[in-house]
Structure 1
């Protein structure tokens, strides 16, 4: 029943559909709260209410446990309050999507019991506190989105010691500390996208970042990073986006890191604005860095 411009409340009687395993009423105009009866459907595997105007808190009916529930899709609503600890009783949950709501309070350590979780969306809420170290128990996790919240404390990549993580969004939080340690690429061997803008990071970009050979997007803008931009970024041959703007990064007088980036043949967006580079552009850098195609007649990329 998705994309049907449905209005009004979700009726309590929907819980009488005991044999239903999929409930998807996404992208409508539904309002009101989520009825507790939804969580009485013992055979339900996926619940999808994304893109409505639902309000109120997430029902505590999850305490009864939904033994085969695999997906909860509640993003882009007006849900508020703390996320109930009873979510941890959904032992088979693989996807938890709660982003773009008004949830607040901390992430409780019980969330670490969701050992089958693969995708966790909590971005664009008002979640506070520290990111719990128990998140490392989510051994199946591939995508983690915590951006645009109010997480605080020292940013410690050691707590994300999950070999399967490919995509991580931590931007726009009140974190602090230095960039990931030299062994980050052994902690996150499969990382592809890392977003750490507006997180108060200090320190330098380590040369060892080139060991994260699967990087496609690296977003470190608007922090307090210093030191030279390492030439070793040129070893990230799959890189598509590199954003280092709004820091205090420098380079040698020949801006040699730009020459090294000519090895990144997939690079389509490069942002270096608001850094004291103060160098001379390499003579053939822009000819080699971007693909001037006679067939299409345009520059395949963006530089800021």
Structure 2
């Protein structure tokens, strides 16, 4: 729309408002506190603007809120703990800001959360384990933010998860950790992207149980051992990148691997198999 300036305080008089969508404009400055009077709001979309300052703590008073999108602004400082009192929240999108500090443990209170995206911020601590205790998420996008420990029982609650991604902004956020075998229990998973960490150990055979998996990127880690033959059972798998690891042994050639090229397995050193992968037989 191309609107500019600041949001007028009189907006707080629109007490009947259910959806506030001012995305894709050039609004700037801080958000007026009068928005707190819009108790019926279920949707707030302020993405792709130039808002600044801290994410307001008074968002917590908008108890009907189900969707909050602050993507691509200039919000800074900490995420207020009170934000996680929005117990009806289903979509939380804070990506592409300059948010600092940590994700509060209270994120585990959001038992209705389906989609959380905090990619591309300046977080400097681990994602709290409480995020993995929520049973409802379908997407957890943490790219370019530190990830912390991936729990060994990651599959126990995240039964609806379709996307899990972490691409750290600096040195590997999953530093010196193994991929837990329980990852194979994420039956709904479509995308698994854990590239550019310092994962070690082997790729668990249980990943062959990810029957809906379409996208798998484990590149640029310290993974070793064989590529599990169980992966040939993943009939929907259309993208694999296992390059820049320490894998060895034969590259599977059946199932979805019939469609992959050498680009998926570059810079491992110990791999062998079909000549089309440009490795020794």
Distance 1:162 1:269, change over 3 A: farther
Q: How does 1:49-60 map to 2 (within 5 A)?
A: 49-60=46-57
Matched, 1:12 2:9: yes
Distance 1:57 1:232, change over 3 A: same
Partner in structure 2 of residue 36 of structure 1: 33
Matched, 1:260 2:257: no
Which of 247, 250, 253 is the aligned partner of 1:249?
A: 247
Partner in structure 2 of residue 235 of structure 1: 233
Partner in structure 1 of residue 267 of structure 2: 274
Partner in structure 2 of residue 294 of structure 1: none
Runs of 5+ consecutive residues of structure 2 not aligned to the other structure: none
TM-score after normalising by structure 2:
0.90
Cα-to-partner distance string for 1:32-58 (whole Å, 9 max, x where unaligned): 112222222001110111011111111
Matched, 1:109 2:108: no
Q: How does 1:56-67 map to 2 (within 5 A)?
A: 56-63=53-60, 65-67=61-63
Distance 1:70 1:218, change over 3 A: same
Partner in structure 1 of residue 179 of structure 2: 180
Checking the alignment, whether the CA contact within 8 Å between 1:11 and 1:35 is kept in structure 2 is: yes
User: 1:150 Cα deviation (Å)?
Assistant: 3.0
Which of 146, 155, 158 is the aligned partner of 2:150?
A: 155
User: 1:159 Cα deviation (Å)?
Assistant: 4.5
Distance 1:139 1:179, change over 3 A: same
Distance 1:163 1:268, change over 3 A: farther
Matched, 1:207 2:201: no
Cα-to-partner distance string for 1:230-285 (whole Å, 9 max, x where unaligned): 22221111101111111111223xx4x1x1245666x69962222214535357x8
Cα-to-partner distance string for 1:16-71 (whole Å, 9 max, x where unaligned): 111110110111111111222222200111011101111111111124x2221110
Which of 48, 68, 72 is the aligned partner of 2:45?
A: 48
TM-score after normalising by structure 1:
0.83
CA distance in 2 between counterparts of 1:214 and 1:141 reads: 16
Which sits farther off after the overlay, 132-141 or 207-216? 132-141
Checking the alignment, whether the CA contact within 8 Å between 2:152 and 2:181 is kept in structure 1 is: no
Which of 195, 213, 216 is the aligned partner of 2:214?
A: 216
Partner in structure 2 of residue 142 of structure 1: 138
CA distance in 2 between counterparts of 1:219 and 1:118 reads: 23
User: 1:75 Cα deviation (Å)?
Assistant: 0.3
Matched, 1:168 2:168: no
What SS class does the counterpart of residue 139 from structure 1 fall into? coil
Runs of 5+ consecutive residues of structure 1 not aligned to the other structure: 287-304
Distance 1:270 1:45, change over 3 A: farther
CA distance in 2 between counterparts of 1:208 and 1:137 reads: 21
CA distance in 2 between counterparts of 1:196 and 1:20 reads: 40
What SS class does the counterpart of residue 31 from structure 1 fall into? strand
Asked which structure has the greater CA Rg, the reply is: 1
What SS class does the counterpart of residue 58 from structure 2 fall into? helix
CA distance in 1 between counterparts of 2:244 and 2:270 reads: 12
Please give the root-mean-square deviation of Cα atoms over the aligned residues, in Å: 2.2
